[in-house]
Amino acid sequence: MQNFNELFSVYRNRFILFAISYVDNKEAAEDIVMDSFMYYWEKRKELDDTSNIPGYILTTIKHKCLNYLKHKLHVEKTHSEIKSHQSRVTELNISSLEACEPQELFAKELEALIMDTLNQLPEPSRTIFIKSRLKNKTYKEIGHDLNISEKSIEYHLTKAIKILKENLKDYLHLLILLSFFK
């Protein structure tokens, strides 16, 4: 035990300076040196009496420094990869937002809903609504095309508009919003 205490007193600071020169961290170097002394103490009975004890401890310190540096490098690479991934995600989000046109998204959604609603209308109401509102035909032109009275056209348009209003009631705020951005 006395030999160990002398060995520790003589070499501790030298070994710490050696470890610091590689790991560049005083606390880590001190831990490595203490672990190396403890490792020697645990293995001392397995060594020959002629063994170079300071050399053995220094070799242990060398291996522990290598392990520390390899681990540090692995952690740095992992952090770098994570940061690189986060940068790519951020760049993708920027590109996506720059390309995004909310008006078009709302307009397409609304158009799909209108088309679905129109497809659910009974045949005469759908045809009359499309001719009147989408093709801008007059009641007279529609009456002539379909051979029906203007009163029938008014009835079917009223019916179609009522169904559209009901189906689009949740989108009224979007219609108003879109009208402001035009």
User: Could you tell me the pTM of the whole model?
Assistant: 0.53
Residues 160, 125 contacting (CB under 8 angstroms): yes
Summarize pLDDT for 85-137 with one digit per residue, the tens. Answer: 999 999 998 888 887 776 666 667 777 887 888 888 888 898 998 899 889 99
* Residue 90, Cβ density class (10 Å: 0-12 exposed, 13-18 middle, ≥19 buried): exposed
Rounded to the nearest 10 degrees, the angle between the axes of helix 150-168 and helix 139-146 is: 110
Summarize pLDDT for 20-47 with one digit per residue, the tens. Answer: 999 999 999 999 999 999 999 999 889 8
Question: Which pLDDT band, with edges at 50, 70 and 90, does 180 fall under?
Answer: low
Show Cβ contacts of residue 60 under 8 Å, excluding neighbours closer than 6 positions.
Answer: 36, 39, 40
